[in-house]
Amino acid sequence: MFAWNTNKLSQRAFLACRGLVKHQMCLSQVRLMSSKPEIKNDWTKEEVAEIYNRPLINLIFDAASVHRKFHNPREVQQATLLSIKTGGCIETCSYCSQSSSWSKDTKMKAEKLLELDDVFQAALDAKAAGSSRFCMGAAWRGPSQVGPKQFERVLDMVSKVRSLGMEVCTTLGMLTEDQAKQLKHAGLSCYNHNLDTSREYYSEITSSRTYDDRLDTLQKVRDAGISVCSGGIIGMGEKELDRVGLLHMLATLPEHPESVPINALVPVEGTPLAKKDIKGPTGLEMVRCVATARIIMPKSMVRLSAGRMDLSIAEQALCFMAGANSIFAGDKLLTTPNAERDSDAEMFTALGLLNKPAFNGEEEPFEIPPTREESIRRREEWQALKNVSASGKGCEAIKTSA
């Protein structure tokens, strides 16, 4: 054992040894910092519950450590969400103001699908204001409910907005395989379809579709080669076990969703859930959900979505530390109010956050149609090929061209 009051040789030996230990600690810390945890999708519910229930101070640290291994912790993406078709929806999601089932109470009128030029202008404005992702939501059960003309217009919207170099996401309800492929051919980057809550609690939220319907659309999106955006809503009267159930379901999909929105319920007067007068989640509950999502889906974008207006800057800062790396910007989220851009700009400055570019600033992962005409041409070509194959001449056509 070395002591300070020994001869000079011993002191030098002590200092050298202490330096070595310190050096070794640094190396092991570096090794720890540089080793990325594996991406796993065979989590058990118990494992997810163990993470979710960690002391919050530890959970935030653990999530922040994972976050830094996969993402630049200062970068937060700004996305804009536009309602391209508002109200009159035949579904019965009890949190939603747009269902026709309670439109008398919400006073929400059904509007027509927006025109292409208006949507493009909104995307231009969003890009100019700093958004690198543009999401379009239609209050439909799915495109099949409205027929091909309106869906065609949405495909044009996708192609035109994508030509701006933005990530383009749509949320249009349930998709068929064909619709998913057409969206892909139009240049869609991502499709949003939230699981909302746990399988066990889902029937409390809607009776007009099942959890398996949701999973089916997510699979069709994945099969079409579109990246998946799926998350949930906290504060709908669910138990903490349901939050764990939702996160567990997302993290055990065959591939993690590339994008996981974590929403807090924004009660809208006249909706069934608002009538129940449920106490909303606290900021720290949101932090806990974000942190758990970050640990179990380390590569995904975790989006701090609806309900952000009720969070202080300090609470949002904890969410960013715990792994949230996207927000929705602009004063409206579909039909509910959202934080103003100016206050977000102040928050970015105060926290030292940077605006995350589209596609992480890398080359775009998909080959996108350079013009609207090209997009239409590719979709028509694909449709023609599909018709050939449906008529049984597909093999002949392939043989001829081989």
For ligand SF4, which stretch binds (CB under 6 A), given 89-97, 160-168, 257-265, 371-379? 89-97
* Integer Cα distance of 196 and 206 in angstroms: 10
- The residue within the footprint of ligand SF4, chosen from 60, 96, 287, 321 (CB under 6 A), is 96
* Integer Cα distance of 158 and 60 in angstroms: 37
Q: Is 93 a catalytic residue?
A: yes
Residue 229 binds ligand SF4, judged by CB under 6 A = no
Known binding residue 93? Answer is yes
The count of chain residues that interact with ligand SF4, using the rule CB under 6 A, is 8
Q: Is 89 a catalytic residue?
A: yes
For ligand SF4, which stretch binds (CB under 6 A), given 88-96, 123-131, 241-249, 256-264? 88-96
Q: How far is the CB of 81 from ligand SF4 (least distance, A)?
A: 12
Burial 219-236 (b: 16+ CB within 10 A, else e): ebbbebebbbbbbbbbbb
Q: Is 229 a catalytic residue?
A: yes
Residue 89 binds ligand SF4, judged by CB under 6 A = yes
Residue 91 binds ligand SF4, judged by CB under 6 A = yes
- The residue within the footprint of ligand SF4, chosen from 60, 66, 93, 233 (CB under 6 A), is 93
Binding mask 184-203 for ligand SF4 (x = CB under 6 A): --------------------
Catalytic hit among 135, 190, 289, 319: 135
**Largest distance between two CA atoms of the chain:** 95
Burial 96-115 (b: 16+ CB within 10 A, else e): bbbbbbbbeebebeeeebbe
Q: How far is the CB of 95 from ligand SF4 (least distance, A)?
A: 7
Known binding residue 395? Answer is no
Catalytic hit among 169, 190, 289, 319: 169
**What tokens appear for 83 in the block?**
């309602």
Residue 172 binds ligand SF4, judged by CB under 6 A = no
Residue 278 CB neighbour total at 10 angstroms: 15
For ligand SF4, which stretch binds (CB under 6 A), given 91-99, 255-263, 273-281, 356-364? 91-99
Complete DSSP assignment for 331-373:
SEETTEE---HHHHHHHHHHHT-EEPPGGGGS--SSPPPSSHH
332 forms beta bridges with 337
* Integer Cα distance of 87 and 109 in angstroms: 6
DSSP letter at 196 equals: B
Binding mask 138-167 for ligand SF4 (x = CB under 6 A): -x----------------------------
Pairing of strands 336-337, 332-333: antiparallel
**What tokens appear for 15 in the block?**
């200092």
DSSP letter at 71 equals: S
Known binding residue 17? Answer is no
For ligand SF4, which stretch binds (CB under 6 A), given 45-53, 85-93, 325-333, 362-370? 85-93
81 forms beta bridges with 135
Catalytic hit among 162, 303, 308, 379: 303
DSSP letter at 145 equals: G
Binding mask 121-140 for ligand SF4 (x = CB under 6 A): ------------------x-
User: What residues line the site for ligand SF4 (CB under 6 A)?
Assistant: 89, 91, 93, 96, 98-99, 139, 173
Active site residues: 89, 93, 96, 135, 169, 229, 303
